[in-house]
Structure formats: structure tokens, C-alpha cells
Structure 1
Amino acid sequence: MHTAAPTAPAARRFLTGPTGLGTSAARRHPLSAARIPVPELHCPPPLRDAPALGAEVNDRLVAWAARTGNYTGRLDHLRDAGFGRMLMLVYPRTDDVGLLLAIGRCVVAAWAVDDCYCDDEGAGAAPELLGTRLALATSMLDPPPFSPAYALGLERAVRHDPVLAGLRSAREGLLARATPVQVARACREMSQLFQSNGAEAAWRTSGRLPTVWEYLVNRQLDSFACCLALVDAAEGYQLPAETYEDPRVRRAFLHAALAGAIVNDLYGLARENAAPGQDFSLPVVLAAEQRCSLANAVERSARIHDDLMHAFEDAAAALVPGASPELVRFLAGLRAWLGGNRAWHATSGRYRGV
């Protein structure tokens, strides 16, 4: 993610990073970031690698993005990111192209919100419009019951905004392949992601670097929870709603979601630091708060990832005795998703060769 320089004085100061003792490590050093390898992580290997399936899903995702108007002029970048390969890796127990495509549209639609609303002014991001845009984006996940007279205004907004059109199309496509409970669950997780986008924008415009704990709170919302929420849908069954909401299950789920997000921080560090403007990641906020080098912060971030993975595995193991077959399958699906997520980040054109 990245944002071009805002014009507010505080935001201009933030372009060179935070100031004061110990904060120099948080400033942008694109070359040094590009040379920092991702440490070995405690993460399972992917359960499969089926390049042909990934390529087919990827081609269809790019075609869908073109139809909705998303990533106009940047479809090659979308293709190179390889979201089709991601879906093939993280949902290894299905080869149903249509089902993977239905889930993949949600993934690409969520990424488009981040890129086009939050991070890239070249793609239309504007800090002063973000709050309104995120509210409209959230309405695509739970359409308001307008009378026809007022619905026309929303329809015009959707026709003129590819991001909104993509979100609506993604939700409608998912409804055709998943249960209403699964769709509602995924939409709730995605709406929390949009909430986190607003918090990150506030840090940017105020010129304030968050503390590590603040960052992790927000990163929990800005995680891959909406993807993990569809593990059962991808495998053709439904985890009962009361099981999904069980606090013990939720704890395991959130450990997995945050671990997956830190993988994104680690593999995306060079890309984010090479972009103009200020972005946030766990290594960056750790380097500033703990007054260490960026390389050392990467090592510390990797340890936090591993701690989260161990916590997920412990929580999952504690749930298995006496668990329903659906829950056992769901927990195994979360683990498989994490292995595929790391494998995709290590090979995606979005993060490679910065």
C-alpha cells in the first residue's frame, strides 16, 4: 500500500518519517528494505501447487476486473500479482474454478478498495474523500433498503465508481456459490477491514506513527479474516454459525488472521518502502518504538508471527477433542490457508523484484 504526499503540513513532515530520538530507523530506506530477506517462518508448506488451475482462475479474475472497470490501465499489474495462484494455494481442497472465482472476486474487490481509495493517488485515492467512500463501500456489503426515488442516487454512484461496482458484483457472485450465513460472515469481516482503513488514514493525515500495540489492534481488523471466513465455503460445507462465533474458535481464528497479515507485512516491506509517501507495517513501527534497525525489526516481526502461529496451533489443538467434524475440517482449512498464503507472498509479482 502507498499514498502520495498529502499537502497538510504535518503530513509533509511525515514524508521523511517521524522525528526524534530512535525514530530514524522508521524512515524510508527503499534500498536497505529491498535487501532485507524474510526470515524463515514457522508456517506449514502449501498442500498443493497446481499452476494451470491458478492461471485459469487468474485469467478469469483479470477479465472480471476489466468488465467492472477496476484497475483500468493497470491490468498487467493485477495479472502479475497472481491472485488466481493465491486462491489455488490457500484453498487447496477444491478445484472448482467457478467457486474459486467467486471467492477471488471478493479478494480483488477488497484489494481495490485499499489501492484505489486509500493508498495510490495515481489510482484516485484522496484522503479528504476516504470516509465517504468507505461508507459507500460498506453499503455494497449490506445494501440499504432505499425507496426507488433515493436508490437512483446510489445507482449512479455505483455506475461511476468501478470499486463500488466490483464490490457489488463480488457479493452477488458469492451469494450464488455460498450460503447466506457464509456471505454475511465474510461481509462482516470485510467491513472491519474498511474500518481499519480509516484509522490508518488518520495516522497519515496527522503525521503520527502508531505505537506497536495500536498498530497490531488495527492490523487485526486489517487482516485476511474475510478470506479465512470462507474456508468452509471453498470446501463445500458450512461451519455452524454458533461454532464460528464460539469465543474459543474465534480466538484461534484471529490468531491465524493476524499471523497471515504479518506475512504480508514482511514480504511487502520492500514494495511499501519503495513507494512514495508513508505506509505502515509491523517492522516500521517496531523499528521506531524499539529504536532498532529495520533489519532487526524484521527479525522481531518474524518472531511475533511465529508466536501467533504457535498460539493458533495450541488453540486449535485444544478444540479438537470433542469437536464436530465440521470444526475439525475448518481448523485444518485455516492451517492450509496459512501455508498457501506464505507461499503466494513469496512468489507473487506484487512483492517480488522491488
Structure 2
Amino acid sequence: MPEPGLSPLQSSLPSAAAHFGPHVLDQAGSVGVEAADAAPSTVPVPAAVPEPAPAPDLGRILRGPSGLGTAALSLARPPVEPPVVEPPVEPPVEAPPVVPPAAVVAPVVEIPVASAPAAPADALHIPGLYYHPVAEPDPARVEELSRRIKDWALDEVRLYPEEWEGQFDGFSVGKYMVACHPDAPTMDHLMVAARLMVAENAVDDCYCEDHGGSPVGLGGRLLLAHTALDPLHTTAEYQPRWAESLHEDAPRRSYRSAMEYFVRQATPSQADRFRHDMARLHLGYLAEGSWAETDHTPEVWEYLVMRQFNNFRPCPTITDTVGGYEIPADLHAQPAMQRVLALAGNACTIVNDLYSYTKELAGPGRHLNLPVVLAERENLSDREGYLKAVEVHNDLMRDFESEAAALAAACPVPSVLRFLRGVAVWVDGNHYWHQTNTFRYSLPDFW
């Protein structure tokens, strides 16, 4: 079938960030970045915002290296002296625009920005929850991605037995990934995100949760699975046996295959970034598993520490790979960017705690989530604990948006602006998927 077109792009990144995009791209000679958000921002923007000076370390990065032979490596475009033009005899011919070097500007995909409609009538609604509605993802892309990811799960990695097919379909991977990555240029780019999402859930379900998971021996299983992402380098005698082990269960088969596709699309620095975030995720799994083994209820702040690691961060952190561009590694590593990514991942994860609350209570054993921990540790009723968890989520969302806007103002590099916008789109798409996935989720009767 023909390649489906791009979905409309929407974003919760406040308009303060969008203010800087066109300004900087105009200076660079680019076509610009969409300035309108699909949902109204709660962050006021002055009529004229002075461009702040970058922090010292950020200024060093933007200036680039110095010394013999390094002039071409700078991220900042050097000023161009205007040419001296003699008075023409004939009418002057307009000179072609100056095109910036490819390394300066992230590729900009021209996508019409549609106003976001209200959520579908059958969607779940949590009163008081702060979020941004998004446009319905492109149904043609959803259908095609759903078909391709199911073929991969069945034919390439033998992910699940026949009796789990309904659960796989009910997860709605296609809708999820199209909503989170509307600027993905091709289906192959979307498949990179979809495979990794499915593989991460296979590890969680089969190692940690209700499809055979257990905290007993979890560390060993996660370590072996992690080598499908971060390969073993050992002697020729022992390398073959390790390679064989990557095919021994569905989680490792999924990780191995998804990572092979990912590294073909990603740069080495993007791949290394993803491995780092997956190590964070596995550390969070281990912390939650250790508390389950000892029947420990953490303090609220301890639970939030665990959730900063056991969260969705590996998904939005690949937004540039899926979008077909790259944010420079030095800019991605900036503390301000790391804070933005942490807040985005934390907000997305508390959304999961809220929408999966009744599902987890109905499951076997005792499952920790933020409403449960708040109720027990702060001596609240179940309803009060849930409502306070909504407040925690809202605070995280607003902090994420204000920090993202501040970073966009301090570092108005086109790839950074596009990356921040992509992360914000991912946050909104993640909420949309939870809100509309009534196959998996329902809400408590607290209102």
C-alpha cells in the first residue's frame, strides 16, 4: 500500500518556546518551525521577550571548538559580511537566499497544525487532571503500523502464544506510536519506536509483572536481557554461547531484534543515549522488585525516586531518531535538558499510575503505585490518595513545561527546539493513549 502521510503535529510545549523557533530559523535562513500549539498554553508570554545570554558552559558548546583546523566544527553559523555591490546599470537581480550548513539546522518537516478536538466521547476523564488534548492520529498510519508491528511480533521474534493475541491487539501499539511521533517521516521510522515499545513491555510483563514475572532472580534476568541492547565483548570461546542465549526467551528475542533495527536508524551517540536510559529503566525495575520481595512500602519521595528510573523516559529520548534528525550529544547532555527529560518521563509515568490504578488493584498480589503509597504513607483515604496523585502529576507537568520553555529561550538552536517540541508531543500522545485505551484501563469511582 502507498506510504500514509504524516499526522498533524501537536505539542504541549508552551508558546514561549515556539516564540524562539521562527526567530532563530529566520536568522539562519531556514523555512521556520511551526509556531502554533494545538492546545492553549498556561504560560504567559510577554509581547517582546529579550533573548537571554546562554550559560557559560552552553556558550562554550554553541561556540564550538577552537584552534587550528576547527573552524568548520562550530554549531554557530559565523557572520557573513555583506558583499559590496556596485550601482547596477540594469535592474538588479535578486540574489538567492543564503542556505545554512546542513549541520546547523535540524530538518524541518512541514506539517499542518490542526486544532486539537476534544477527546472521544467514550474516553476516560480524570477530573482536575492537567493535560493537552491531541488530534486523532492518522488512521491510515495507525492501520499500517499495527499490521507491521504484529507481523514483526509473530514472525520475527515469536513474542507471544496464541492465547495472548487479544491482549496484544488491545494494547493498540499503532495508535500509541502514531500519536506520540506525528513527525516521523516514514513507516520505517515509526517501526523503530514501535519495536522498542513492544520489547520493553515484553520484558516488563514477562520478567516483572503478571505474565510470569517475579522479583525472585529478577536481577539476573534483566542483566542478560540488557546485553541484547549493550552487547557482550568477551573471548571467542564464550561469545557463541552468549549469542545463542539472546534467542532463548521472548523478551531477549524482542530486545535483540528491536535494537538491531534501531542502530541502523540511529547515530552511535543516539544508540548510546538509549542504552543509558534503558539501564536506568532496569535499575528502577530492580528497586521495585526488591520492595516487593521485602513487602516494603516506600516513603512517597522514595517511590518518586524509583519512578524516575522505572518510567517512560527511553521512549521520548529517541524522539529525534524517530523524527529523522539528531540533537547534538553535548546539548542533549546539558543539565537543563536532562531535567526536562526527567520531568517529562515522571509526568508520563504518573499518568500511567492514575489510569492503571483499578487494573493493578484487580491484579494478583500487591502493586505499588502513587495513589496507594500516598494513602498509606500520609494516612489518607483511597480517594484522597488518588486526588493527591493527580496534584503531583499536575505539578510535574507544569514544571516540565516551564523548564522546557526556559531551555528553548536559553538555547535557541533549531535541533534543540525541535527536540523539545517532540518530547512535548510525546507527553501529550502518551496521555491520549492512556485516556482512550478503554480495553486496558478504567477509572475508580471517586467522583
Structure having the larger proportion of residues in helix: 1
In the alignment, which residue of structure 2 is the partner of 1:128?
A: 216
In the alignment, which residue of structure 2 is the partner of 1:174?
A: 262
d(CA) in 2 for partners of 1:104, 1:158: 20
**Shift in Å, 1:244:** 0.6
**Shift in Å, 1:40:** 3.6
Contact 1:47-1:336 within 8 A present in 2 as well: no
In the alignment, which residue of structure 1 is the partner of 2:287?
A: 199
d(CA) in 2 for partners of 1:309, 1:126: 32
**Shift in Å, 1:314:** 1.1
**Shift in Å, 1:259:** 0.3
Contact 2:189-2:324 within 8 A present in 1 as well: no
Post-superposition CA distance 1:191-221 (Å, at most 9, x none): 2111111111111110111111111001000
Contact 1:47-1:340 within 8 A present in 2 as well: no
SS of the aligned residue for 1:128 comes to coil
Instruction: Give the stretch that moved more between structures: 316-325 or 171-180.
Output: 316-325
Is residue 2:388 matched to residue 1:292?
Answer: no
Is residue 2:421 matched to residue 1:328?
Answer: no
d(CA) in 1 for partners of 2:345, 2:309: 9
Is residue 2:176 matched to residue 1:75?
Answer: no
In the alignment, which residue of structure 2 is the partner of 1:28?
A: none
One-letter code aligned to 2:310 = D
Instruction: Give the stretch that moved more between structures: 61-70 or 303-312.
Output: 61-70
d(CA) in 2 for partners of 1:303, 1:108: 30
Instruction: Give the stretch that moved more between structures: 72-81 or 272-281.
Output: 72-81
Is residue 2:206 matched to residue 1:116?
Answer: yes
SS of the aligned residue for 2:127 comes to coil
d(CA) in 2 for partners of 1:201, 1:147: 33
Contact 2:189-2:323 within 8 A present in 1 as well: no
One-letter code aligned to 1:304 = V
Post-superposition CA distance 1:123-151 (Å, at most 9, x none): 33243321110111111111011223212
Contact 2:192-2:322 within 8 A present in 1 as well: no
Q: Which runs of 5+ in 2 are unaligned?
A: 1-123
d(CA) in 2 for partners of 1:242, 1:173: 25
SS of the aligned residue for 1:124 comes to coil
d(CA) in 2 for partners of 1:350, 1:114: 19
Q: Which has the larger radius of gyration?
A: 2
**Shift in Å, 1:292:** 1.3
SS of the aligned residue for 2:217 comes to helix
**Shift in Å, 1:347:** 1.5
Is residue 2:437 matched to residue 1:348?
Answer: yes
SS of the aligned residue for 2:325 comes to coil
Is residue 2:397 matched to residue 1:309?
Answer: yes
Aligned residues: CA RMSD: 1.7
In the alignment, which residue of structure 1 is the partner of 2:234?
A: 146
One-letter code aligned to 2:427 = L
Match of 1:275 among 344, 359, 363: 363
**Shift in Å, 1:272:** 0.8
In the alignment, which residue of structure 2 is the partner of 1:240?
A: 328
Contact 1:47-1:92 within 8 A present in 2 as well: no
After superposition, the Cα gap between the structure-2 partners of 1:203 and 1:350, relative to the gap in structure 1 and judged at 3 Å, is: farther
Q: Which runs of 5+ in 1 are unaligned?
A: 1-35
Aligned length, in residue pairs: 317
% identical aligned pairs: 34
**Shift in Å, 1:85:** 0.8
One-letter code aligned to 1:71 = Y
d(CA) in 1 for partners of 2:137, 2:403: 28
SS of the aligned residue for 2:216 comes to helix
After superposition, the Cα gap between the structure-2 partners of 1:117 and 1:130, relative to the gap in structure 1 and judged at 3 Å, is: same
**Shift in Å, 1:344:** 0.3
In the alignment, which residue of structure 2 is the partner of 1:338?
A: 427
d(CA) in 2 for partners of 1:286, 1:103: 33
d(CA) in 2 for partners of 1:112, 1:349: 20
One-letter code aligned to 2:174 = G
After superposition, the Cα gap between the structure-2 partners of 1:350 and 1:204, relative to the gap in structure 1 and judged at 3 Å, is: farther
Post-superposition CA distance 1:26-82 (Å, at most 9, x none): xxxxxxxxxx96334222222552123122212222221223122223122011110
Post-superposition CA distance 1:162-193 (Å, at most 9, x none): 21111010100111222221122112111211
Structure with more contact order per residue of length (Cα contacts < 8 Å, sep ≥ 6): 1
d(CA) in 2 for partners of 1:269, 1:292: 16
Contact 2:145-2:187 within 8 A present in 1 as well: yes
d(CA) in 2 for partners of 1:270, 1:95: 37
In the alignment, which residue of structure 2 is the partner of 1:184?
A: 272
After superposition, the Cα gap between the structure-2 partners of 1:40 and 1:58, relative to the gap in structure 1 and judged at 3 Å, is: farther
In the alignment, which residue of structure 2 is the partner of 1:163?
A: 251
**Shift in Å, 1:95:** 5.1
Structure 1: which 4+ aligned runs deviate by more than 6 Å? Answer: none
**Shift in Å, 1:349:** 4.8
Is residue 2:347 matched to residue 1:259?
Answer: yes
d(CA) in 1 for partners of 2:237, 2:126: 54
d(CA) in 2 for partners of 1:318, 1:158: 43
SS of the aligned residue for 2:233 comes to coil
After superposition, the Cα gap between the structure-2 partners of 1:106 and 1:350, relative to the gap in structure 1 and judged at 3 Å, is: farther
d(CA) in 2 for partners of 1:39, 1:202: 34
* Alignment TM-score, normalising by the size of structure 1: 0.85
d(CA) in 1 for partners of 2:226, 2:126: 34
